[in-house]
Structure 1
Amino acid sequence: MNATIPGFEQHRIPVAEGVSLHAAVGGSGRPVVLLHGFPQTHLMWLEVATELAADHTVICPDLRGYGASDKPAETSGTGETYAKRTMAADIVTLARALGHERFALAGHDRGALVAFRAGLDHPEAVSHLACLDVVPTLDMWEVLRGRTAAVGFHLYLMAQAPGLPEELIAAAPDAFFGHFLDTWSTRPFPADLRRAYLDASRNAVPSIVADYRASAGLDVDHDTADRAAGHHLRMPVTVLQQDWGAALGFDAHALWSPWAPDLHHRTLDAGHFMAEETPELVTAELRALLAR
C-alpha cells in the first residue's frame, strides 16, 4: 500500500494507453484537483487537501512519471510523452473517470505548469485555476538570464540531450533531489516525509528528466503558439508566489496578466513549498478562488 493522505481512498486509473495514475480521493462536494510539484508526490497536499475535503471532493494524483503513477519511457523523439499537453490530458481523463466533467484545478511547481496547460487546452473542464510559485514556461525561459539564472541550474541540466543528465543525477539522487528540498524551504521537512520524497524521486530519474526536457522544447512551442494566437485562460485564476520576483529581476504579476484576464496574484511570506509551510494561507486562497 502506498503512503497517502489519511482518510483518502487510493485509486489507480488508466488515462492513456499503457499509463495509469495513482490518485488519493477524499471528501464530497464540488471537485477540486490538486497537482504536486518537484521533487514531490501528492503527499505535499496533505494538510490543504484534508481541510478542503470538509466540503469538496478532493482529488490528489501523482503526475505521470512521479510517485506511484506509471513512468512511461520517452520514446516519441519529440518530448510528447512528458509534454504538459499530454500530462494535462491525463488529468482531464482522470477526473472524468471519477465522474467529474468539470472541476477546479490547483497545481504547485511542475503541477502548476500542467494545470496552466489544462486551463488553456480544456477550458470546458477547468472551472477555476490556481498556480503556486511558477511563471508560465515560455516566460520563464525569457526572463532567466545572467547570474540570477544560476537558481535554475537544474532546468539547464535536464534540458540537455538524453544520457548525461540522467547519468549524473542517478549517480547521486539523494544529494540532487535533497538539495531542492533543503534549500527551497524555509523550514526542514519532517524526516519521514523527506524520505518519502527522496525514495519516490530516486526511482523516477528518467521520467523526471524527461518532464523537464519537454519544458525546454515542446512546452515552449505550445506556449509560443498560444501567445501568437492570443489565447488566454478563461476562468478565474489565482497565482501565489514567494517573494522571488524582485530577486530575479522581473515582475511575476506582469508576466501572468496577459495570460489571465481574471487574475488574483499574491506574494506570500513563505518558501517554495508554500502548501506545506503555510497550509492555512494556501487553503484560504483556494477557498476564495472557488467563491469567485
Structure 2
Amino acid sequence: MTISGFARHRVTVADGVRLNVAVGGSGSPVVLLHGFPQTHLMWRHVAADLAADHTVICPDLRGYGDSDRPADTGRTYAKRTMASDVVAVAAALGFDRFALAGHDRGALVAFRTGLDHPDAVTHLASLDVLPTLDSWEVMRGRSAAVGFHLFLMAQPPGLPEQLIAGAPDAFFGHFLDAWATRPGALADVRDAYLTASRAAVDSIVADFRASAGVDVADDEQDRAAGRRLRMPVTVLQQDWGAALGFDAVGRWRAWADDLVHETVTSGHFMAEEAPADVVRALRDLLTR
C-alpha cells in the first residue's frame, strides 16, 4: 500500500539498509518523514497536493513500515544515523538539496538532518514535537504521564519488547485512538499502521531507546557548541506547551533564528486531521 499516484522505490542507504520510498510529482524536492506509530502513508493528503509542483519523497524510516529493520548495535537508530539515511535517499533520487518536513519521530530525524547537513536542507518543518533534549527536560510530574511510552521504551532491551509484543494492537492502537481528535481521520490506514507496527516492535523500541540515550547526548553536545538550524524553520504544534507548563516557542527559538511557530487546532496527527492547514504552512515555508 502506498500513496495513490506515487511510485515505490527500494533505496539502499550508506550502511546497506534499504528503505521503502514513495515518490511522486516533479519539481523542487520535498522530503516528508512520518511519525509513530505510522508509515509514509500519513502524508497521503499533503503529498498529493505538494506533488502538483514538487518532487515529493516519502520514505518509511528505517525500522518502520516496509523499510529494513536492522538489529540495534548502539547507534543503529540514532537520529544522526537516520538523518544520513535521508540525505542518502535524496542523493539516490538525484537531489543534493531538498526541503524537509517531519512529524513526531520523523521531526526528530528532520531536526538532526538540519543540524548535521545544513548544506543539504533548504527549509525545515517540524510537526507536533520538541527536539529530543527539550522533550526530556520539560516532562515532569503528573504531566509526564502523557509520555509514559517514552519511559517504557527507554528501558534496557528485553522487557519493553516483551510487554509490547504481548499486545501490540492494544499498545499501538492506544496512541492512534487517544491522540486523534477527528473521528475517522485514520480509518483508511489504521489497519495498515497496526500491521506495520506489529512486525516492527524491536526496531520501534530501539528508535525510542536511542532518543533516551545517544540522541540526548548528541543534542547536548550541539547545544554546548552553539550549533543552530540555519535554514528557515516552521513549527506546527498543538497547544500542549501551555497545557504542560513550558514555553514551546522559546524552546524552538533557542535552536532556530528564522522561526515561524504556529498552533494548529487538531489532534496529534495533524497531517491527516488538518491537511489543508499543513499544506498551507509548508507552502508558506517554501517561499521564505
Partner of 1:272: 268
TM-score when scaled to structure 1? 0.97
1:281 counterpart letter in structure 2: D
Q: Distance in 2 between matches of 1:71 and 1:18?
A: 11
1:243 deviation in Å? 1.2
Structure 2 SS opposite 1:17:
coil
For residues 205 and 230 of structure 1, the distance between their equivalents in structure 2, rounded to whole angstroms, comes to 35
Does 2:80 align with 1:68? no
Q: Is 2:29–2:55's contact at 8 Å kept on the other side of the alignment? A: yes
Kindly provide the amino acid, as one letter, of the partner of residue 239 in structure 1.
Answer: V
Aligned to 1:126: 121
Q: In structure 2, do the counterparts of structure 1 residues 190 and 82 end up closer, same or farther at CA, with 3 Å as the change threshold?
A: closer
Number of residue pairs aligned between Structure 1 and Structure 2 = 287
Quote the residue 2:30 is aligned against: 32
Q: 1:15 corresponds to which residue?
A: 13
Gaps of 5+ in 2: none
Question: Quick one: which amino acid aligns to residue 167 of structure 1?
Answer: Q
Identity of aligned pairs, percent? 74
Shift of 1:246: 1.4
Please show how residues 106-125 of structure 1 align to structure 2 within 5 Å.
106-125=101-120
Work out the CA distance in 1 between the residues paired with 2:270 and 2:247.
19
Measured on the aligned residues, the alpha-carbon RMSD in Å equals: 0.7
Selected match of 2:80 from 81, 85, 95: 85
Question: What letter matches 1:224 in structure 2?
Answer: E
Residue of structure 2 aligned with 1:54, choices 52, 55, 58: 52
Quote the Cα distance in structure 2 between the aligned partners of 1:166 and 1:61.
24
Give the superposition deviation at 1:281. Answer: 0.6
Write the letter of the residue equivalent to 1:88: A
CA drift at 1:108: 0.1
For residues 89 and 242 of structure 2, what CA distance do their matches in structure 1 show? 37
Residue-by-residue CA offset, 1:249-278 (whole Å, 9 max, x unaligned): 111101000100000000011110000011
- C-alpha distance in 2 between matches for 1:276 and 1:97: 28
Alignment of 1:1-292 (within 5 A): 3-74=1-72, 76=73, 79-188=74-183, 189-292=185-288
Q: C-alpha separation between the residues in 1 aligned to 2:101 and 2:276? A: 15
Letter in 2 for 1:39: P
